[in-house]
C-alpha cells in the first residue's frame, strides 16, 4: 500500500487526480477501523492531515466556512455559540479520543446514515464544498447523500469545507444510543428555527438509507406557528402541535431493523425526539425575546 502525504492542498488534489482510487484519510477513525478489520485494502492512502487549510475555519459574511479537517473537539470548544446544532451533535460523538481525531469531513466522506453531523448539517441547510484540479463546487447537503454510505463526490474530488449559515434562531439535536457514550446512534434528529423567514429546518439520522430532511413536517410546524401568530407572540408551543410535528417527522422516515434497534423503535423514538426538540427550541426562542 502506498501512503501519500501531500503538504499542500494543490498537491492533494493533484494526487487524487493521479490516483482516483486513493482513499483519503483525515482523523482515521473510520478508515483505520475498516483497515484493521480487513474490510478494504486500498492501494493508495492519501493522508490529508498535513494540509493546513483543511484544519481552519473562518467567518465569511453570515456563514462559517468549516475546513473539512476541523475536529469535533474544536467545533465544541471554538464554535459552540456560532454552530450550536453541530456543536451539540459533536458532543455526542464517540469519546474524547474520537472527538480529538474525528472530523466533519470524515463523517461526510463515510456518509453513514448514522453519522451524527448529518442531522445538524441538514437542519442548518449546510453546503459541502468539494474540489478537484478541475475546480470547486458547492453541493447542498440535501443532495450530498446519494445512497447507503455513498456520497456525491466524483473520483477525483475531495471535500474542502462545509458552509454553515450563522443561526438566526435556536437549534437543537437529540440522539438515542444504546448507551450514553461511545455509541453509534440508533436514531437522531436535528432541528433549527428560522424566525426571520418563519421556517423550520429538520434532519433525520439513522432512520432511512441516507440522512434526510422531513420537509412536510417542517412546513407543517412553520405554517402552524404562523397561523396561530406564535412567531410574534412567542406564546407557549401547544403540546398537541409538538406531538403532531413528531408524528409527521416519523412519517418521513423509512428505517430498518438492525443490531442497534428495530424499525418500530426508531419510528417511535424519532417522533418523541422531534416533539421534544421542537419544545426545547421553542423555549429557547421564547427566552431570547
Sites of contact with ligand FAD (CB under 6 A): 23-31, 33, 48, 68, 93-94, 98, 101-103, 105-107, 109-110, 115-116, 158-159, 182, 184
CB of 28 closer than 8 Å to CB of 49: no
What grid cell was written down for 93? 460523538
* Helix 72-79 / helix 84-91 crossing angle, nearest 10 deg: 130
Shorter beta-carbon distance to ligand FAD: residue 105 or 169: 105
Q: In 69-150, which ranges are continuous DSSP H helix?
A: 72-79, 84-91, 96-101, 104-110, 117-123
**Beta-carbon neighbour count of residue 33 at 10 Å?**
10
- How far apart are CB 155 and ligand FAD at their closest, in Å? 11
Shorter beta-carbon distance to ligand FAD: residue 13 or 237: 13
Shorter beta-carbon distance to ligand FAD: residue 117 or 221: 117
Shorter beta-carbon distance to ligand FAD: residue 178 or 233: 178
- How far apart are CB 89 and ligand FAD at their closest, in Å? 8
- How far apart are CB 272 and ligand FAD at their closest, in Å? 20
Shorter beta-carbon distance to ligand FAD: residue 90 or 277: 90
As a whole number of angstroms, the distance between CA 166 and CA 236 comes to: 25
- How far apart are CB 146 and ligand FAD at their closest, in Å? 14
Shorter beta-carbon distance to ligand FAD: residue 107 or 248: 107
- How far apart are CB 261 and ligand FAD at their closest, in Å? 15
- How distant, in Å, are the alpha carbons of 26, 29, 47, 99 from that of 102? 8, 6, 14, 5
CB of 256 closer than 8 Å to CB of 264: no
**Closest to 53 measured CA to CA, from 164, 159, 138:** 159
As a whole number of angstroms, the distance between CA 25 and CA 16 comes to: 12
Residue with cell 474525528: 102
- How far apart are CB 157 and ligand FAD at their closest, in Å? 7
Residue-level length of the chain:
289
Shorter beta-carbon distance to ligand FAD: residue 57 or 194: 57
What grid cell was written down for 28? 482515521
- How far apart are CB 112 and ligand FAD at their closest, in Å? 7
Amino acid at each position: 500500500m502506498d501512503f501519500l502525504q501531500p503538504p499542500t492542498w494543490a498537491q492533494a488534489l493533484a494526487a487524487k487526480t493521479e490516483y482516483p482510487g486513493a482513499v483519503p484519510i483525515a482523523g482515521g477513525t473510520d478508515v483505520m477501523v475498516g483497515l484493521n478489520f480487513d474490510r478494504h485494502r486500498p492501494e493508495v492512502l492519501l493522508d490529508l492531515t498535513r494540509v493546513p487549510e483543511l484544519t481552519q475555519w473562518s467567518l465569511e459574511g453570515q456563514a462559517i466556512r468549516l475546513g473539512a479537517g476541523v475536529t469535533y473537539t474544536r467545533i465544541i470548544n471554538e464554535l459552540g455559540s456560532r454552530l450550536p446544532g453541530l456543536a451539540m451533535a459533536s458532543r455526542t460523538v464517540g469519546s474524547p479520543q474520537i472527538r480529538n481525531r474525528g472530523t466533519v469531513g470524515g463523517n461526510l466522506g463515510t456518509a453513514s446514515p448514522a453519522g451524527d453531523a448529518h442531522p445538524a448539517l441538514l437542519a442548518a441547510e449546510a453546503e459541502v464544498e468539494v474540489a478537484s484540479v478541475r475546480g470547486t463546487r458547492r453541493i447542498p447537503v440535501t443532495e450530498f447523500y446519494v445512497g447507503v454510505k455513498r456520497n456525491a463526490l466524483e473520483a477525483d474530488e475531495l471535500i474542502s469545507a462545509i458552509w454553515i449559515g450563522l443561526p438566526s434562531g435556536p437549534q437543537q439535536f437529540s440522539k438515542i444510543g444504546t448507551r450514553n457514550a461511545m455509541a453509534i446512534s440508533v436514531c437522531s434528529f436535528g432541528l433549527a428555527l428560522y424566525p426571520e423567514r418563519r421556517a423550520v429546518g429538520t434532519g433525520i439520522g439513522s432512520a432511512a438509507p441516507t440522512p434526510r430532511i422531513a420537509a412536510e413536517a417542517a412546513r407543517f410546524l412553520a405554517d402552524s406557528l404562523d397561523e396561530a401568530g406564535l412567531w410574534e407572540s412567542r406564546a407557549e408551543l401547544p403540546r398537541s402541535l409538538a406531538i403532531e410535528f413528531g408524528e409527521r417527522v416519523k412519517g418521513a422516515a423509512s428505517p430498518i431493523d438492525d443490531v442497534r434497534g428495530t424499525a418500530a423503535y426508531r419510528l417511535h423514538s424519532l417522533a418523541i425526539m422531534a416533539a421534544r426538540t421542537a419544545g426545547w427550541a421553542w423555549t429557547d426562542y421564547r427566552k431570547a425575546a
